[in-house]
Structure 1
Amino acid sequence: MMPGTMIFIDTDGHRDERTLKAAPKLEELQKMVGGYIQLVPLFSRVAHSSGMQKCVVLCNEDGKNLNMPLNREATRLWQLSAGKAPIQDVLVGPIVILFGDPSFMEAL
């Protein structure tokens, strides 16, 4: 059993959080972000009710070319994760945050 958490953040700021027993399949992640996935750089931790968590964050790799709307909440969390490193970019489209125990993270 690999306990993990997946948080989906839509462009309107709506969050959907799910507990997972296994890492999600690539196809499921692509469907959630609306296309091919890309790892968001410098977004490696997120504040959660369970404390700060090491995480992996995914977005649509072609979101800007597809004119996906700005995701303000995801961009705000990205800047918090980066700390003192200023982020000179924004996230667009829906994003997925994944975190969990070491075996869950390794399965990603």
Structure 2
Amino acid sequence: MFKNLGAMGDMAKMMKAAKEMQGKMAQLQEDMANMMVEGEAGAGLVKATANAKGKVTKLDIDPSIFNAEEKEVVEDLILAAITDAQTRAQERAKQEMNKLAEDMGLPAGMDLPL
């Protein structure tokens, strides 16, 4: 009479695990907004800070590079620092997602959506 209850119990466990994972993913998304990484260019003359979601939050430029004749060089350094920060942010986000997947017992290397 109750022989299908075992499968329903397994389904309930899966639903609970999915809801738990959804909560952890939401928390991680929130945490990533506060995780900061720094990218740099020109041996540290230009630095860009971004959160793990890739949003650039700060730009630091050494005043020694301000020279009207080198405007294009400065622009290139700024772009390079921002790109570096965003790349590091993506790497950090991937590391955090891999940790979450591992904590949840998911297979190694499983790509979770960011």
Same fold per superposition (TM over 0.5): no
Place the TM-score, normalised by the shorter chain, in its bin.
under 0.3
Higher relative contact order (CA 8 A, sep 6+): 1
- Given the two structures, how large is their TM-score scaled by the length of structure 2? 0.24
Bigger-Rg structure (1/2): 2
Q: Whose helix fraction is larger, Structure 1's or Structure 2's? A: 2
